[in-house]
Amino acid sequence: MKVSKYLDTEPIQELPGVVKREVINTEAGAPNFCMRVFEVEPGGRTPLHSHPWEHEVFVLSGQGVVRSEKGETQIERDSVIFVPPDERHRFVNNGNEILRFICVIPLVS
């Protein structure tokens, strides 16, 4: 068993305005999926992109929108987002504080 606080994990500057922490990954012994915590600065965004794996997301704090080709939906604390494999998506922080969310992905070889 491994117990930590998420801020103990080294941050990675994923994109300008977007920091990622891999809080549970293969290094911790995870066999199937990886838990990451993202922090997006106000005005920050992830690119509109797609990939063959899913996202399972839980918003911890802040406000933003998740965009797909079908439109956008407001998200905030306690929002849950399932992004299926191959669906284009983007997260945007349109609020005044950090948008923090958990994003779980499968470990793909």
Residue ranges binding its own copies (CB under 8 A) = 1-7, 9, 23-24, 28-33, 35, 37, 54, 56, 58, 60, 66, 68, 70, 73, 75, 78-85, 87, 89, 102, 104, 106
In the complex, least distance from residue 84 CB atom to its own copies, rounded to whole angstroms: 5
DSSP structural state of residue 77 = T
Number of residues written out for the chain? 109
User: Measured between alpha carbons, how far is residue 107 from residues 20, 38, 50, 74, 98 in Å?
Assistant: 16, 17, 16, 28, 27
- Nearer residue to its own copies within complex by CB, 16 or 69: 69
Distance in angstroms (rounded) separating the CA atoms of residues 81 and 54? 10
Residue 5 or 49: the one with the smaller Cβ distance to its own copies is 5
- The encoded tokens of residue 60 equal 């911890």
Cβ nearer to its own copies, comparing 16 with 78: 78
State the nearest-atom distance from the C-beta of 70 to its own copies, in Å: 7
